[in-house]
Structure 1
Amino acid sequence: MLPELIEELAKIEGFKWIRIMYSYPESITEELVKVIKKYDNICNYFDMPIQHASNKILKLMNRRTTKEDILSKIEMIRTHIPNATIRTTIIVGFPGETEEDFKEVIDFAQKVKFDRLGAFAYSREEDTAADKLPNHLEEDIKVERRDALMLVQQQISQELNAAKVGNIYEVLIEEQVEDKVYIGRTQGDAEEIDSIVYAKCKDKLNTGDFVKVKINNALEYDLMGDVIDELA
């Protein structure tokens, strides 16, 4: 159903970028990936919250997938769309998570090299199924693991960004932040949650303009570049 819906939306004139958000791994089918690849106005962007990479923890979370299934899905996406942006969210410190379980998360993140990753420490909520599980972790352990995972992702992000220097991207301008300096986003950056592009331009730009930006510098999460041409 989703592939058909997205395809119909893509055919409507005037939709410049269509972005699909928050799709669990089991809902991302090969049919959907092929539709995304087919249309230029569908962002090659996959927001796929895997939540964890230990099969034991995934089962405790009542997720309908395994680490092997997730890896297979990522490989399928990258086979069809090599330049796809894959974003995920991971919860660390879930009840029963051991050091070995957490190491699986770190190893998985280093292997997959997600373009975007958000890590969250498990937060206990009264009367939920997870709240009734044994072996809850201390808050400082959860925070420590979250920070460790984000440090790994920071290094991955910096490495991926460095490889983008010299490339040209279509950027949607959001606002002006300094004289002749604007911030915007590529197809690989969802609003508010992902990275931004700092774009220098001698001409006046407006919110909503699409421009071509050549990247000349890479930060840990963000990119910097010069506008080389405006797009219609």
Structure 2
Amino acid sequence: MKLVSMISLGCPKNLVDSETILGVLAGTGYVITSALDEAEIVLVNTCGFIKPAVREALETINRCIQLKKKGNCRILIVCGCLTARYGAERLAKLLPEVDGWLGVNPAPYILSCLERLLQRKGAAQGGTEQGEYPRLLSTPPYTAYLKIAEGCSHACSYCLIPRIRGPLKSREPESILREAAQLVAGGTKEIILVAQDTGAYGRDLPERPSLAGLIREICKLDGLHWVRFLYLNPTSLTPELIEILSNEPKVCRYLDIPIQHVNRDILRSMGRKGDALSYLQMIGQLRSALPGVVLRTTLITGYPGEDRKAFRELLDFVAAARWDRLGVFPYYHEEGTRSYRQKDDISYITKRRRARMIMRLQRCISRRNNEGLVGSTLEVLIEGRLGDNIWWGRSYREAPGIDPRVIVRGENLRPGMFVTVRITAAAAFDLIGVSL
């Protein structure tokens, strides 16, 4: 037996890759452990999208190198976006203590890599082939991510994803539906569809299947309670998608639509469409067509050329749009992107200050939005315990890992249970209620 432990960094899409690696290993006799210091084999699945992610990956790898020097670890393998971005040869020179380097989607290559290393024949490098592999879920059994596509064919100037993970490569609908059925049969109540841009799903396939059509088929699975999807480019919002959000009760009325900015010049420089007016119209139409819809976005501050006027336009837009959820990040000048050719003309201090200004405004908006929910009832998926008869969970309004929580007072509750909760109080981000 070989004890294997894994560290998964980055986004839910990366987490699915990690779960697939563990599923492959568990199915061939390896024993998975969460105790990193006990493992003989340590795997690190990295993110390499922006500088903080690269820094986190390198720090994590160095901690694991110390385990090789002092602990039970005999083999250290690093995979994922960091390898794809910088290359195994370059990284091997920087970190010779790492035994193997694999790229993105390493599941087809992990066994051969380990076999070669255990026989001391050297490391292997991986490609990007797709296939159907078992998964060992690391999420609670009632919630699972389901990756429907790999890569991205957009050409946003600040983004390395197409270079790291390649162009859009959608999975066949039959493959996705088989995996969805397996998840539900295993007790999954909430399926979260993920891709770089979920709305682009199927455009590269001959039959041109759509995201809405895929969701419609997934919703037919008995035992499935919620379906939600993340990361939707505004250009991918179709009438068919709005129709299924409106008419299918299993689909959470929750839309994650990263718009990045609203200044027309900056958006064109980013390689994106839209502007403040068109986005406000989109928000108004969605709220009219889908009562109760929760809208989330992501913004970037400090992109090259964002002067005070452009930032004020962004700030005014946030005040007018009243997003339910919002994340904001300072622009990182990443080598290899098209925007790297532009002058990084805004200091990091200014970028951070602008991001904090937006979040202060959003905090006020979120509190007012939450106060409007006091007295209403929500269906809540219980996920954890905070104290005697005090629990926390999520309604359709919250995606795991990125959104606030609903704090629930109630008896005889347990994780994985859906309960009706009357909202009695509102904090800036969290809601507070009592189970009925």
For normalisation by structure 1, the TM-score amounts to 0.95
Name the residue aligned to 1:118: 327
Cα distance in 2 for partners of 1:80, 1:26 equals: 17
Give SS of 2:216's match: helix
- Structure 2 unaligned residues grouped into runs of 5+: 1-209
Match of 1:42 among 238, 242, 251: 251
Give SS of 2:375's match: coil
Name the residue aligned to 2:364: 155
Q: Deviations over 1:44-94 (max 9, x none)?
A: 000000100111111111113333332232222112102100000000111
Cα distance in 2 for partners of 1:135, 1:198 equals: 43
Name the residue aligned to 2:420: 212
Count of residues in correspondence between the two structures: 227
Name the residue aligned to 1:222: 430
Larger gyration radius, structure 1 or structure 2 = 2
Is 1:194 the counterpart of 2:386? The answer is no
Letter in 2 for 1:178: G
C-alpha contact 2:392 2:405 (8 A) present in aligned 1: yes
What percentage of aligned pairs have identical amino acids? 36
Cα distance in 2 for partners of 1:71, 1:222 equals: 25
Cα distance in 2 for partners of 1:135, 1:123 equals: 9
C-alpha contact 2:295 2:325 (8 A) present in aligned 1: yes
Q: Deviations over 1:23-51 (max 9, x none)?
A: 01000112201111111110000000010
C-alpha contact 2:333 2:344 (8 A) present in aligned 1: no
Is 1:106 the counterpart of 2:315? The answer is yes
Letter in 2 for 1:138: S
- Structure 1 unaligned residues grouped into runs of 5+: none
Is 1:86 the counterpart of 2:295? The answer is yes
C-alpha contact 1:30 1:76 (8 A) present in aligned 2: no
Cα distance in 2 for partners of 1:107, 1:190 equals: 26
Give SS of 2:326's match: strand
Name the residue aligned to 1:61: 270
C-alpha contact 2:367 2:427 (8 A) present in aligned 1: yes
Alignment of 1:5-20 (within 5 A): 5-20=214-229
Give SS of 1:52's match: coil
Is 1:76 the counterpart of 2:285? The answer is yes
Cα distance in 2 for partners of 1:30, 1:106 equals: 29
RMSD: 1.1
Runs of 4+ displaced beyond 4 Å: none
Letter in 2 for 1:220: A
Letter in 2 for 1:221: F
Name the residue aligned to 2:21: none
Cα distance in 2 for partners of 1:181, 1:123 equals: 40
* Cα displacement (A) at 1:136: 2.2
C-alpha contact 2:423 2:433 (8 A) present in aligned 1: yes
Letter in 2 for 1:145: R
Cα distance in 2 for partners of 1:98, 1:130 equals: 16
Cα distance in 2 for partners of 1:218, 1:34 equals: 31
Cα distance in 1 for partners of 2:234, 2:276 equals: 10
Cα distance in 1 for partners of 2:278, 2:224 equals: 33
Give SS of 1:18's match: strand
Cα distance in 2 for partners of 1:8, 1:127 equals: 39
Letter in 2 for 1:4: G
Name the residue aligned to 2:55: none
Q: Deviations over 1:158-210 (max 9, x none)?
A: 00011111111000000111111000001010001001000001x22111100
Cα distance in 1 for partners of 2:400, 2:280 equals: 26
